[in-house]
């Protein structure tokens, strides 16, 4: 098991799907139907175990998430944490934005989802999660594509669970389809070809410009230096 610390966690269904994606490091799949070019793969990667001290730190952070332990979370937040691109950085602003003292705060599922998708070491003392961000290929527009984070994920002809299956996708980068006026909650429109659009349950896709976290070892201990979304 890749994350022993996950045993017994009560995470959201989104997080559980992402944990499953992380554990399927070498699965193959079937490409999108009716695409003219071969799909680009983006297989899950997790390098945390290559450094036992970081692996232990992350396991403890998973425990904090499971317990909704605000004090434990704030203890790993760097004093100058970057919270976004609007100049609202710092630990106090992080706490004001996320309200970790509230068990229903969005910080818990968001951070769980980021950590569950693994990540890579930028250097011996810097870890970036999730892999969808750290391994996103150069030259692929991060605003116009998303990554499928599951194996044999169904793509449907309409944003409904009972709609006809148009194709399947396994750990691939797929182009978004911008649908004017489309407000189908829980579904993401993707382009199958120049003339065809399909729909994927949003819990099975991840944007490279969604939330990500940077961790750095400072003064002998790991801290979270960034937790933000956007570009």
Residues 6+ apart with CB under 8 A from 13: 203
Single out the residue of 204, 200, 145 nearest to residue 167, CA to CA. 200
Tell me 176's DSSP state.
B
How far lies 79's CA from each of 89, 131, 140, 224, 229, in Å?
9, 25, 34, 9, 19
pLDDT in tens, 94-106: 999 999 999 999 9
pLDDT in tens, 37-56: 567 999 999 999 999 999 99
DSSP result, 2-58 = --GGGTT----HHHHHHHHHHH-TT----PPTT-SSPPEE----B-GGGSHHHHHHH
Annotated domain spans of the chain: 10-29+44-133
The count of other CB atoms within 10 Å of the CB of residue 134 is 20
pLDDT value of residue 37? 58
pLDDT value of residue 181? 57
DSSP result, 198-209 = EEEEGGGEE-TT
pTM of the predicted structure, to 2 decimals: 0.81
pLDDT in tens, 1-28: 344 444 444 444 444 444 444 444 333 3
How much is the average pLDDT of 220-231? 96
pLDDT in tens, 164-196: 999 999 999 999 997 655 667 899 999 999 899
In contact, 119 and 215? CB cutoff 8 Å? no
pLDDT in tens, 70-128: 999 999 999 999 999 998 999 999 999 999 999 999 999 999 999 999 999 999 999 99
């Amino acid at each position: 098991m890749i994350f022993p610390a996950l045993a017994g966690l009560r995470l959201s269904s989104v997080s559980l799907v992402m944990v499953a994606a992380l554990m399927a490091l070498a699965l193959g799949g079937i490409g999108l139907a009716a695409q003219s070019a071969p799909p680009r793969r983006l297989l899950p990667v997790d390098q945390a175990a290559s450094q036992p001290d970081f692996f232990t730190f992350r396991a403890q952070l998973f425990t904090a998430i499971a317990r909704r332990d605000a004090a434990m979370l704030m203890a790993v937040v760097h004093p100058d944490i970057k919270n976004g691109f609007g100049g609202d950085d710092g630990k106090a602003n992080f706490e004001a934005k996320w309200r970790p003292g509230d068990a229903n705060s969005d910080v818990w599922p968001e951070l769980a989802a980021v950590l569950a998708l693994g990540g890579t070491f930028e250097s011996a003392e810097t870890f970036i999660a999730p892999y969808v961000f750290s391994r996103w290929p150069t030259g692929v527009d991060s605003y116009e594509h998303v990554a499928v984070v599951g194996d044999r994920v169904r793509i449907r002809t309409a944003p409904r669970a009972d709609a006809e299956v148009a194709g399947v996708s396994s750990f691939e980068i797929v182009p978004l389809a911008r649908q004017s006026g489309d407000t189908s909650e829980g579904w993401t429109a993707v382009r199958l070809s120049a003339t065809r659009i399909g729909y994927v349950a949003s819990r099975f896709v991840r944007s490279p410009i969604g939330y990500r976290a940077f961790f750095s070892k400072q003064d002998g201990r790991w801290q979270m230096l960034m937790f933000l979304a956007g570009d």
